[in-house]
Amino acid sequence: MAYAIIRTGGKQYRAESGKTIRIPSLPGEAGSKVTFSDVILGSDGDKTHVGVPTLKGASVAAEIVKHGRDKKIVVFKMKRRKNYAKKQGHRQGFTEVRIGDITIG
Does residue 45 register a pLDDT over 90?
A: no
Cα–Cα distance measured from residue 29 to residue 67, given in angstroms and rounded to the nearest whole number = 8
Provide the pLDDT for residue 9.
93
Please compute the mean of the pLDDT values over residues 20-49 and round it to a whole number: 94
* pLDDT band at 22; cut points 50, 70, 90: very high
Q: How far is CA 53 from CA 69, 94, 99, in A?
A: 31, 26, 22
Sign of the C-alpha dihedral computed for residues 22, 28, 31 and 34 taken in this order: negative
Give pLDDT, residue 105.
Answer: 75
Q: Nearest 5°: CA angle at 47, between 45 and 48?
A: 100
pLDDT at residue 92, rounded to an integer: 96
